Structure 1
């Protein structure tokens, strides 16, 4: 075949492929996805992915079974772009980095001058051969000097997920959209109370959501959080997974969860924290390790009790944490956790009955 004929053939083939992917809701253009970053006056961090195949954003949610299943499966039909050069502008600086083998980027830099507390917009651009290939928008969160911060797990801490039962977990995840998933009763109220504990409504206590769920579920989890009015916060998830790894969803390496929590505490050395998790996976042991690495930085640990089999081992961890001077609440119902937070003075006490 003549070279020009081959180019036309390849172009036509690529065009057919793009149309086929588009029909099933998959974007084959380059996308820069920027997640919520965080920082303080001396250092900032932003995370994201560069993808050359990704799901088209949902404009409406499906409430029928086939639509929900396909909506979830699309989130794993991703193709990252490795070693992609990316940059962002901040206070006149241009900060450069490249994506890792799985398309992930992480900016970490020292700003030239402090930024006020609050949410700040940021744009990340993928530039190749002096051409802008794609750009994505995100925000950076700089907390106010509030009394304390909160670090929470997601699955089976406030979002009912059945993490210990793989088949049931997959069924729940595949057959529901983020607007009809359910939180545990009272969990959202507890989080809202912690968010506004002894601080004006305009400057809530900061929340960080750290999970072994993969970045594929970022939009799904944020949509759930917005639907149920959980406190706004920063989400730090686990490594992106491909379609072939779907059965391993939520099975991220738990030692990376320790690292992500440690980075938060290192970013705010003068801020004490409340940790919230459950007993279905490794939260009790990760939180104990955090407490030992950061003495006197943890006010309280909340662990939702879902596994009777694990109860003796978790109670042993609770006793170790209490020996370190950390208040613990190992609870079945969120009302117990709320009462515990009131006793500690983390949230306002109920007015005395007349």
Structure 2
């Protein structure tokens, strides 16, 4: 009964936000970062009635930040729109999302691929696609909240306050995360992916935040928070992360993987299960502890990761991860 009431309220809220954001005019494409697979280059975008973006101002108030962040969630998606790229066509789904797989490997490490709405040359946008090179040694999959940036994701109230009252200038990126990711990416040699339960509405915001913090650019696998016909609100947190990891590993079948996360949102459980599904692929795991220590359930999952032969570093920061994984200082020096 309570669940039915919640779902009904969520649907009413979603329709209300869409009506607020609805504007007349030709649809536009909001491109996301794509990635390469053995079958080709995967382009991703969303068809909307208009784009919402704003430049952060260091002098603006938290109230202004709140208004700007809330506006990112007032979108009007357009379904059934044909999108083209290099002879491939796909239709946007009920939430406006569209995915195309374009044949060809691309030049790498980045390939800019044009895509547009059918019959609308003026709608063309560029979809950047990450293409791992032949010299790549591993790939990196990282969580975002409390792993790369301070969020308080383990506390819903703190998470919402931090997300909606901050800006790309005020949000705090962990310095040790920037240093570790730079080392692991080796100046673009190794592909980087980000997996998070944050909504797709924050894609542009996170891209800007990462660029300002000098975090390596990479495709993001975020979550759709729309209310589904079955009554669910997007995919579940754990299911979403697990499915994203499976997709990334299938896209890069020849590379071992390093997994970064935190102990506040069951990442140890997600990574333990991924290690079971992809035996031999995971080279190391590192978990930030946003709160002192780990709970009994996380400790048990970490023990299982270690028992599978995968070193799992955990602590308040990532400073000791490289040594714990057995990556020597020479690995850091190769990028110098």
Give the TM-score, by structure 2 length: 0.83
Instruction: Name which of structure 1's ranges 270-279 and 138-147 shifts more when overlaid on structure 2.
Output: 138-147
1:124 corresponds, among 106, 112, 115, to 115
Query: Given the alignment of the two structures, is residue 108 of structure 1 paired with residue 97 of structure 2, yes or no?
Result: no
The count of aligned residue pairs is 307
| Gaps in structure 2 of 5+ consecutive residues | 1-19, 228-232
Q: 1:67 aligns with which of 64, 68, 93?
A: 64
Alignment of 1:1-354 (within 5 A): 29-40=26-37, 42-55=39-52, 57-61=53-57, 63-89=60-86, 94-111=87-104, 114-127=105-118, 130-131=119-120, 134-145=123-134, 146-196=136-186, 201=187, 203-239=188-224, 241=226, 253-307=237-291, 311-341=295-325, 343-345=326-328, 348=331
Structure 1 unaligned residues grouped into runs of 5+: 1-19, 243-247
Q: Note closer, same or farther for the CA distance 1:33–1:263 as it changes in structure 2 (3 Å cut).
A: same
Q: Rg bigger for which structure?
A: 1
1:344 partner SS = coil
**Structure 2 match to 1:12:** none
In the TM superposition, what whole-angstrom CA distance separates every residue of 1:92-141 from its partner, at most 9, and x where no partner exists? xx001111110001112443xx43322111122112xx455733222111
Aligned-partner Cα distance in 1 for 2:330–2:70:
40
Distance 2:115 2:225 in 1: 19
Could you say if the C-alpha distance between residues 280 and 228 of structure 1 is closer, same or farther in structure 2, counting changes exceeding 3 Å? same
Q: What SS does the aligned partner of 1:101 have?
A: coil
Give me the whole-angstrom Cα distance separating, in 2, the residues matched to 1:265 and 1:21. 37
Q: Cα offset for 1:212?
A: 0.9
Provide the rounded CA distance (Å) in 2 between the counterparts of 1:29 and 1:131: 9
Give the CA deviation at 1:168: 1.6
* Cα distance, 1:298–1:66 mapped onto 2, change above 3 Å: same
